[in-house]
Structure formats: structure tokens, C-alpha cells
Amino acid sequence: MRIPHILGNWKMHKTRAEARETLEAFWQLMADYEGPVRFGFAPPFTALETALRTREALGARFLLGAQNLYPEPRGAFTGEISPVMLQDLSVDFVILGHSERRHIFGETSSLVARKVRAALDHGFVPVVCVGETLEEREAGRAVEVVETQLRESLAGLAPEDLQRVIIAYEPVWAIGTGHTATPEQAQEMHAQVRRVLADLGARAEEIPVLYGGSVKPENIEGLSAQPDIDGALVGGASLKAESFAAIIRRARFSRA
């Protein structure tokens, strides 16, 4: 049985004080939650320790993630964060291959694959992002692009390693634009992702595949009802405690 996950990506938002305030407000809304969804946040690196201390003080059950890592334990890599540093912060998951990393910072799928390996070796759950641009979709290349990204980003992983990975399908044209893939469009690509995972030797029916791209309380029910959608990677709507809590509570996963 796949476990649904709803994860918030705060991107380059929130000071330490703002992070603490948001997490405290969120937990007031969610402390009584007993549903099937695992949920958590990926704050900016500067707020990770604050988030950890806040979680401890609240006795809260939310997961903590990082938005990136560099695939070396230490060294002369100015501006980067190592997996050893993230272990020191009790990180649970790491977002890798996000479209903003790929398109703004030029990250290749081969680099993402190195990061995935490092994340697994240090005990984190890699949340591996794939997705096509609007131009690629309109050219009829969406499936080809996503499959290539997926295969290259997971290159070299043994089947047992694949079982420890979460995939996030995020169509680039829907991220932060207010435009969301229809539930049917998202389901079609999620099913394709699962076929590729099976071809790579994974027990694909056990691997969570999340949707990301302008997820909000108003559209989570339709998305979560699809048979191959196992949750969401949420951007802007995760910055407010009320909207993120509403997304989690309104989700209706068919397998849960």
C-alpha cells in the first residue's frame, strides 16, 4: 500500500521567525489529525534548525526536508550544503531535480542522479522531480521528456534503492502560474511514470508519485482521487498554515 505524502516546498521564503510562526500555527490546526497522509515542509536552509527546534518543542509529527544537497560529504564547494550537514539537522527528505534547479541553475539529470545516490546513502528519502515545459507539451514531447528525465535521474539505482524514492511530477507550465494540470492530464503522466519505474525493475505499485503545480485546497480533491496520484508537492499554498492544512484535510486518496 502506497502512503500518501503532501509536502510543502517553501523555496526562498521565510525568515527563522516567520518559519516558527507558520509551523506553530499549522500544528494548532493539525495536532488532532489522524488521517492517512504523511506531511511535511522543506524550509530554506537558514530556517531548517529553527524548524527542527519548533517541531521538538511542539512534539509535532510533520516531516522536515531540504530543498537541495551537494553529492559530497565535504570539500571546497562554496555555497553548497552537504548530506552530512543535513544529517546534523535530522532531515527526513530532500527535494532533488526541481525544475527551478534544472532551468535556472542548469542542473542536469546526471547531477541529479549523483544527488539521489548521496541522499540514499545518508538515509534521506529523495523526492525526485520531473516535468515538461509548455513548449515541450505543445510539441507532443511531454511523455518523452519526462521519461528521459526519470531514467537519467534514477540511473544506477538498484531495484531495492528505487523503493526508497518518491517521484514528483511537476509540469513546468503549472508551477507558480495558477494553471494546474487537469486531474486527467496528471493521472495520464503519473501512470506513465509508474510504467517507467516498473521497467527499471521497481515494484512500481509501491512507490509514491506526487503531483506538483499550483496545488491548492480547491483542486486537491480531484487530483487525489486519481488512482496513480499519491499526494502533492505544494509551493505557494504551503506558505500559509491554513491553506496547507486545508489541502491535507481535503485530500481523498482512493487507496487510503
Percent helix / strand / coil, the chain, rounded to 5: 45, 15, 40
Give the integer Cα–Cα distance in Å for 157 and 164. 10
The region, left, alpha or beta by phi > 0 then psi within -120 to 50, assigned to residue 59 is left
Q: Is 107 a catalytic residue?
A: no
Q: Which residue has the cell 571546497?
A: 76
How many CB atoms are located within 10 Å of the residue 60 CB?
Answer: 18
Give the integer Cα–Cα distance in Å for 52 and 42. 11
Interstrand relation of 63-66 and 38-42 (parallel, antiparallel or unpaired): parallel
How many CB atoms are located within 10 Å of the residue 216 CB?
Answer: 18
Choosing from 5, 98, 136, 190, which is the catalytic residue?
Answer: 98
Give the integer Cα–Cα distance in Å for 64 and 90. 8
Residue 232's contacts (CB-CB under 8 Å, 6 or more residues apart) are: 6, 7, 210, 211, 212, 215, 220, 223, 224, 247, 251
Choosing from 100, 136, 170, 190, which is the catalytic residue?
Answer: 170
Q: Is 98 a catalytic residue?
A: yes
Q: How far apart are the first and last CA of the chain?
A: 8
The catalytic residue positions are: 98, 170
